[in-house]
């Protein structure tokens, strides 16, 4: 079982989409996929209605997800930890205990733009178009992750 965690700030906009998209591309018998936020603002909350709407447009139901906060235990529970932006990266790395923990963490867009540390911009304060853009970026990155995990390992 390969275990993958998607991380953003609130765990209501970007990482729930990343979780839903990657789940749709990998068999759940072999991959555990979850998401979390570095912040504690939305613990127990549904994903943002705009994320729910965009996911639904592409055939994904993410309404089973609830917000939770990233914790140090996630370094033990997951093999790969994908962050959306630089602030998520710094907040996750702050909790790392050793080089093994740090090695699990990467920017999700490095899967398509290696070593460039590009961010998936936070769409929270904008309109629905930002959520569309987020979906497209994450779909491309997750396609790459799924191909890598299924065929190159």
Per DSSP, the three-state class of 81 is strand
Judge contact between 19 and 4, C-beta under 8 A: no
List active site positions: 8, 14, 122
Question: Looking at beta carbons, which residue is closest to ligand 4NP?
Answer: 10
User: Which of 2, 55, 51 has the alpha carbon at shortest distance from 27?
Assistant: 2
The least distance separating ligand 4NP from the CB of residue 31, rounded to whole angstroms, comes to 22
CB 50 to ligand 4NP: min, Å: 10
> Residues interacting with ligand 4NP, by CB under 6 A?
8-14, 37, 41, 122, 124
Helix, strand, or coil (residue 146):
helix
Give whichever of 26 and 108 is closer to ligand 4NP, judged by the CB atom.
Answer: 108
- C-alpha triplet 123, 60, 136: angle, nearest 5°: 40
The nearest distance, CB 153 to ligand 4NP, in angstroms, is 28
Please name the residue ranges forming H helices in the chain: 14-25, 49-57, 74-77, 86-95, 99-103, 128-151
58 or 124: CB nearest ligand 4NP: 124
Q: Which lies closer to ligand 4NP via its Cβ, residue 8 or residue 62?
A: 8
């Amino acid at each position: 079982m390969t275990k993958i965690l998607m991380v953003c700030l609130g765990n209501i906009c970007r990482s729930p989409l990343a979780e839903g998209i990657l789940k749709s591309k990998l068999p759940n018998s072999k991959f555990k996929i979850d998401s979390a936020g570095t912040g504690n603002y939305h613990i127990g909350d549904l994903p943002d209605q705009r994320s729910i709407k965009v996911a639904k447009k592409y055939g994904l139901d993410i309404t089973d997800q609830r917000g939770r906060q990233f914790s140090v235990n996630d370094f033990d529970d997951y093999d790969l930890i994908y962050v959306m932006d630089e602030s998520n990266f710094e907040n996750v790395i702050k909790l790392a205990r050793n080089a093994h923990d740090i090695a699990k963490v990467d920017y999700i867009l490095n899967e398509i733009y290696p070593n460039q540390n590009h961010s998936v911009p936070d769409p929270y304060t904008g309109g629905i178009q930002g959520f569309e853009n987020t979906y497209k970026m994450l779909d491309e990155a997750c396609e790459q992750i799924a191909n890598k995990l299924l065929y190159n390992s």
